[in-house]
Chains A and B, each alone.
Chain A
Amino acid sequence: MTSSDLEIVVEDPTAPEADSPSVVDTRTIEIAVSLLLLALAVVLGYDNWRTGIAWDSTGPQPGYFPFYLSVILGGASLYGLVTTLVAHGAAAETFVSRAQLRRVLLVFVPTALFCLAMQYLGIYVASFVLIAGFMRLVGKIALWKSLLTAFLFTAIMFVTFDLAFDVIMPKGPLEAAFGY
């Protein structure tokens, strides 16, 4: 790295095709989110109404604040919903294209599986599997590199949290076998 015009090029191995078809447009998502928020506002509003939204001798009851917040949330979502519906003349903007969605799922699915695995295997084993698996299968990195990186990272985490800082992490059968 001596000359200053050397270029570092980092290419993503899963680079997309340039014009991937749109899966869903932004408008649809905006409508869906508005509806979801509206539903949430109704559910929370009802629960708070049940808790009590009046004023008693000691100021507002516990449900007072959140109830009116639910109303505000509902109102703003409704406003968003209506403006989105009215403005249907606007060109449909892509929310996510097929190639993009594929890549997002490529990282989301392993993350979700990792969260699930953590419940049974403990955090360290799950981390090892996630890092090694992701590097090997998604990144197409050599197996030994993937395993070594995953092992080192997990080991460092274990030493830092469990040994050095006494932060207790979820553990599974493997750690139990070693007496932790």
Chain B
Amino acid sequence: MEAFGLLLHGFAVLMTWKILLLMMVGLVLGIFVGVLPGLGGPNGVAILLPLTFAMDPTSAIVMLSCIYWGALFGGAITSILFNIPGEAWSVATTFDGYPMAQQGKAAEALTAAFTSSFIGSLVAVLLITFLSPTISSFALKFGPPEFFAVYLLTFCSFVGLGREAKHKTVISMALGLLIAGVGMDTVSGTLRMTFGSTDLLRGINFLVAVIGLFGISEILLTMEERLALRGHAAKISLRVVLSVWKDLPKYWATLLRSSFIGCWLGITPGGAIAASFMGYNLAKRFSKDPESFGKGRIEGVFAPETAAHASGTAALLPMLALGIPGSGTAAILLGGLMVWGLNPGPLLFVEHKDFVWGLIASMYLGNVVGLVLVLTTVPIFASILRVPFAAVAPMIVVSCAIGAYAIQNAMFDIWLMLGFGVAGYVFKKIGIPLAPFTLALVLGSRAEDAFRLAMIGSGGSVGIFWSNGLVGAITTLAITLLFWPVIDKVFTGIGQVLRPARAQIIGPVKVSRVPRQSSTE
């Protein structure tokens, strides 16, 4: 029961008025950015990050993760009331959520969404709680070759499993890695790709790029598309909440299935989007009455929301334990950790126990408080949408600029932000995915350093990546994933030869209306 003791310790760290206040502030801000069209989890966290620079790391991460929970909750509000998924992973929620709102059952749909978000996160947090202690004993096994193998695995899985055109994923990733390399090279101490500019000397900051790519480009895109929202108002009463909760046990199978899918896809970098669709599709497949899905069935809200949130939460585990972000928001939190001088990775669990357990405890508290908060304040937040966009847009621009400047106190970063804003706008429109870029930017220099340190250690022999069971297994898995599409084809080919009449088990996901990707997954 080591985990339990550590968790109690984590709660003790949190129980100060200051931290509880920051949690509330974070949640409110999070719901706010989740509801605002054109913002959302990663963007909101990126823009609000500078607020936390002057705090100690524990307070800062607690506030940031609360912003994240808030954004997750907030995304459901717009999906259900306005049929606008605030986040890409809320798309599946609109399938049944919006029809429910049309039928006057908005309150039920919202309660279902919030409750299932809560359940999904809770399952994932429990998983994190009980897996974390084992991670710290595993920690010291990680030297440069192991770290590089893990980074390689992340990169390869993106190229191999991504749904976008392969060459576009490769472009995005190579560009991110190159930009991460600008500035001084730690291993040799020489300058690279700076072309004599003193502004490029310090490198291109990951967060500046993210603020431009997501914040500014979203404003441009939102402005480009006509923004006309037509939605339904909702007021949640205690009676509705209780009646939805009373029915919960009926859906235990759906909730459990979705939680499991979510946790699995969150830990492996599959992401919340895949999780929400998979949760929805499986619920439909196992249902006795699949025809009623898409017409306002409450299970159609439970399934994707539980999966998306389990996945969003579980994504924090690989971030903390290995330094690999499982989602876009996790990548930004990772950038934040590095700003505070914390090196995510297995050693974090050894060196900064207070921090890690404080964060885990805050996941419990943040979710409980968040649930109560959203249930009571839905009408207020829904009315944010009535604020004219012409007022919201310049405020977001200003917040982006403040964020970009505060990271390094450099005017040059403001121009970089603007440049990345334009690049993000064009990339999104021609289908170059931004997720691999973000990931490459945040992991790039770490991956390169790990590779070169491994090489120095081994005297230049690549064999070091198969020198023990741990590193060998990870490297092999990485290469398998890179060539997964090829391998998959070969196996399917063989399968078809053997059993030509085999039917496909899970049909392709049908998405009638895919919104613009506003997240990085």
Return chain B residues, CB-CB under 8 Å to A111: 216, 219, 397, 418, 421
Question: How many contacts between A and B, using CB within 8 angstroms?
Answer: 226
**Are B175 and A167 interface neighbours, CB within 8 A?**
no
Contacts A4-B104, A118-B414, A135-B394 given; indicate if A44 touches B178 (C-beta within 8 A).
yes
B484 interfacial contact with A, CB 8 Å: no
A interface: dominant SS: helix
Q: Which of A59, A73, A170 contacts B171 (CB 8 A)?
A: A73
B interface: dominant SS: helix
**Are A135 and B391 interface neighbours, CB within 8 A?**
yes
**Are A104 and B223 interface neighbours, CB within 8 A?**
yes
Return chain A residues, CB-CB under 8 Å to B178: 44, 66, 69-70, 73
**Are B430 and A26 interface neighbours, CB within 8 A?**
yes
**Are B220 and A107 interface neighbours, CB within 8 A?**
yes
Q: What is the distance, in angstroms, from A168's C-beta to the closest C-beta of chain B?
A: 6
**Are B402 and A157 interface neighbours, CB within 8 A?**
yes
Residue of A nearest to B231 (CB): A8
| A interface with B by C-beta (< 8 Å) | 1-13, 15-16, 26, 29-30, 33, 37, 40, 44, 47-48, 51, 55, 58-63, 65-66, 69-70, 72-73, 76-77, 79-80, 83, 95-96, 100, 103-104, 106-108, 110-112, 114-115, 118-119, 123, 127, 130-131, 133-135, 138-141, 146, 149, 153-154, 157, 160-161, 165-170
B393 interfacial contact with A, CB 8 Å: yes
Stretch of B252-260, B303-311, B382-390, B499-507 on the interface side? B382-390
**Are A168 and B409 interface neighbours, CB within 8 A?**
yes
**Are B418 and A115 interface neighbours, CB within 8 A?**
yes
Residue of B nearest to A47 (CB): B193
**Are B104 and A104 interface neighbours, CB within 8 A?**
no
Contacts A9-B230, A66-B181, A170-B405 given; indicate if A135 touches B390 (C-beta within 8 A).
yes
Contact residues, B368-384 vs A (CB, 8 A)? 379, 382-383
Q: Which of A66, A76, A168 contacts B170 (CB 8 A)?
A: A76
Return chain A residues, CB-CB under 8 Å to B389: 10, 12, 139
A3–B106 alpha-carbon span in the complex (Å): 11
Return chain A residues, CB-CB under 8 Å to B227: 10, 12
Residue of A nearest to B185 (CB): A62
Stretch of B88-96, B232-240, B465-473 on the interface side? B232-240
Contacts A5-B232, A141-B388 given; indicate if A60 touches B402 (C-beta within 8 A).
no
Contact residues, B181-239 vs A (CB, 8 A)? 181, 185, 187-188, 190, 192-193, 195, 216, 219-220, 223-235
Return chain A residues, CB-CB under 8 Å to B187: 58-59, 62
Stretch of B242-250, B265-273, B352-360, B448-456 on the interface side? B448-456
**Are B402 and A161 interface neighbours, CB within 8 A?**
yes
A95–B216 alpha-carbon span in the complex (Å): 19
**Are B405 and A131 interface neighbours, CB within 8 A?**
no
B54 interfacial contact with A, CB 8 Å: yes
Residue of A nearest to B404 (CB): A115
For the complex with contacts A8-B232, A65-B452, 20 further pairs of A-B residues with Cβ separation under 8 Å are: A4-B104, A4-B234, A5-B104, A12-B389, A37-B171, A59-B187, A62-B185, A107-B219, A107-B223, A110-B394, A114-B398, A114-B401, A119-B411, A127-B394, A135-B390, A135-B394, A138-B390, A139-B391, A140-B390, A141-B390
**Are A103 and B224 interface neighbours, CB within 8 A?**
yes
Contacts A73-B174, A165-B54, A169-B402 given; indicate if A12 touches B391 (C-beta within 8 A).
no
Return chain B residues, CB-CB under 8 Å to A40: 175
